[in-house]
Amino acid sequence: MRIIFTLPLLFALTACDPSSSKPVTPPPVETPVAPSTVEVPAPVEIKNSVVRINSTQQSWNPAQPWEKDEPRQRRALAAIVGPKRVITTSEMVADATYLEFESPDGTHFAQAKVIAVDYEANLALLGPADEAEGNTLFEKTVPLALTEPPKIGDTLDVLQIEDNGLALLTPGNLRSIDITSNFLPGHGFLTYRVKASMQSAASSYSLPVLKDGKLTGVLISYDSKDQICDVASTDILSRFLKAAIAGDYKGFPSLGISIARTEDTSFRQWLKLKDDQGGLYVQAVRKGGAAELAGVKKGDVILTIDGHSIDRRGYYQHSNYGSVFWGHLVRGEKSAGDIISLSVQRDGQPLEIKATLTREEESSKLVPGYTFGKAPNFLIKGGLVFQELTRPLLEAYGKDWQSRAPLDFLDAMENPEKYEDRMERVIFLSGSIPTPATVGYESLRNLIVRKVNGKDIRDMKSLIDAFNGNLGELHSIEFDEEDFKVYLDDAVATEVDSQLLKRGIDRLSRAE
């Protein structure tokens, strides 16, 4: 008997709040402000050292992982940093389906490609996709040299080029320096805070920042109300470019710990810390990370890193910048494979530890923090929709996702060590398309899958294999929540799957 059902208008499942897809950050220099009187025309030759980047981006729909969202466009002005090599932000290339260089006068174009990208540091190095197009566009261009790192109080110039070709320099004062997460939460890098009064000029998502005619940073964002620019620092640009131009870019390292300050007096007494000691309390040590491999344990107090004393708030004295957060000693001054020295206090006793820094790959995490350029894994079986948990999926719950998302999902992200022994990815039932196979299950969603047909589920591939190993039978699906179990008739589910393929879904699974 032929099964007939109505496919809902593009499947309002969902694991997420359907009205709360992740908002796109507005271009940082797009909001007009009152024209500034401090902007001055830039030297004519500076236009030989920059290009525009046009980007078309299309991300995957977190609620319906078999399809993409509507494409969007971004535009940036970027510095040429080597022969046919251009530096920009990773936000410009994230989920890009097409990248294009454009000469400042708008007369020459060339398709661009990504040479290296670091989403954590928010930097990307681009080159021409076609050598002949590249030769034409980059003919007579002059790469910008990097400056020495500036100091607090120095004047930095933000470069803009209007649509009429007029190049403008807006001088700004370097007010402060800190470690900030400027694209991905939890990934902090040395960032300049520059006070500059900018007008909108030609809308641009990021801009080169100069000092004495040389490149000193890349503008990441601009707050028009407070007139503050966040600028990726010279230090981070320099390390990124050195590794990216050399080829086989591996990214910035990590120590693999989470820490707490030691300012509280009672806490310090319990830790047996002296008044003249600072220190960072190690709250957690990531499994397989550099710290764990070196012998760092939860409860340790880190007093110095590479000979630099760490104060109670986690800061040390940098020779150029003054007080800087400790993370720069790891991510800003070291590479994967470098050895870092830690002076630790454990149970009141001093201990010296040397750790070999490693790169923490996002693909190794139980709950990946980002998935740019990678299609989401999923499975539709008879109308039941299964997905892999990621931070972007959690963020799809809306602005207050950290309080609105299911507690067990948040727990898996914040405490992965509780789950890693039994799974490599968190597989969950995200929703149910109403079909003859899902009668009675329409309201089920946000349930972590434990077993299918008696087999442990460790990732999407193991889920698909568990269903395929029981074809023609009654499937049993067990969830973490109170040993909850549901059943799915394979014959009915198979017929439903064939109907879904005919009614708008181009594939039923992905496990890559």
For every residue of 402-468, DSSP letters joined together read: HHHS-HHHHHHHH-GGGTTTT-SS-EEEEEE---GGGTT-TT--SEEEEEETTEE--SHHHHHHHHH
Residue 18 falls within a domain, yes or no? no
For residues 42 and 119, membership in a common domain is answered with: yes
Which helix H or strand E contains 132, and what residues bound it? Answer: helix 131-137
Residue 381 CA to residue 487 CA, distance in Å, equals 12
Residue 388 CA to residue 426 CA, distance in Å, equals 6
| Residue 44, number of CB atoms within 10 A of its CB | 9
Tokens of 430: 């995200």
For residues 304 and 415, membership in a common domain is answered with: no
Adjacent-strand bridge partners of 447: 429
State CA 304 to chain mean position distance: 29
Could you give the 3-state DSSP secondary structure of residue 248?
Answer: coil
Tokens of 68: 């993409």
Question: What is the residue range of 108's domain?
Answer: 31-249
**Cα 400–326–234 angle (5° rounding)?**
90
Do 466 and 453 contact (CB within 8 A), yes or no? yes
Residue 351 falls within a domain, yes or no? yes
For residues 239 and 321, membership in a common domain is answered with: no
For residues 352 and 373, membership in a common domain is answered with: no
For residues 216 and 233, membership in a common domain is answered with: yes
The tally of domains found in the chain comes to 3
What CATH code is carried by the domain that includes residue 37? 2.40.10.120
Q: Indicate the residue among 308, 332, 356 that finishes a domain.
A: 356
Phi, psi of 4 (to 5 degrees): -120, 130
User: Per residue in 171-190, is it b (16+ CB within 10 Å) or e — as a string?
Assistant: bbebeebbbbebbbeebbbb
Residue 179 falls within a domain, yes or no? yes
What CATH code is carried by the domain that includes residue 434? 3.20.190.20
Phi, psi of 294 (to 5 degrees): -85, -10
Place of tokens 């799974």: 423
| Closest by CA position to 375, among listed 54, 62, 52 | 62
Residue 231 CA to residue 463 CA, distance in Å, equals 44
For residues 271 and 412, membership in a common domain is answered with: no
pLDDT of amino acid 236 = 96
Residue 129 falls within a domain, yes or no? yes
pLDDT of amino acid 402 = 92
What CATH code is carried by the domain that includes residue 318? 2.30.42.10
The strand pair at 123-128 and 109-118 is best described as antiparallel
For residues 130 and 244, membership in a common domain is answered with: yes
Residue 263 CA to residue 254 CA, distance in Å, equals 24
pLDDT of amino acid 198 = 82
The type of residue at 376 is P
For residues 458 and 352, membership in a common domain is answered with: no
Q: Is 309 exposed, middle or buried (0-12, 13-18, 19+ CB in 10 A)?
A: middle
Residue 504 CA to residue 492 CA, distance in Å, equals 19
pLDDT by position in tens, the chain (length 512): 333 344 443 333 333 433 333 333 444 443 333 344 467 777 768 999 999 999 999 999 988 999 999 999 999 999 999 999 999 999 999 999 999 999 999 999 999 999 999 999 999 999 999 999 999 999 999 999 999 999 999 999 999 998 888 899 999 999 999 999 989 988 999 999 999 988 765 568 899 999 999 999 999 999 888 899 999 999 999 999 999 998 889 899 999 999 999 999 999 999 999 999 999 999 999 988 999 999 999 999 999 999 999 999 999 999 999 999 999 999 999 999 999 999 999 999 999 999 999 998 888 899 999 999 899 999 999 999 999 999 999 998 988 999 999 999 999 999 998 898 999 999 999 999 999 999 999 999 999 999 999 999 999 999 999 999 998 889 999 999 767 899 999 999 999 999 999 988 999 999 98
Task: Enumerate the H helices of 295-439 as residue ranges.
Answer: 327, 391-395, 401-404, 407-414
pLDDT of amino acid 4 = 37
For residues 228 and 300, membership in a common domain is answered with: no
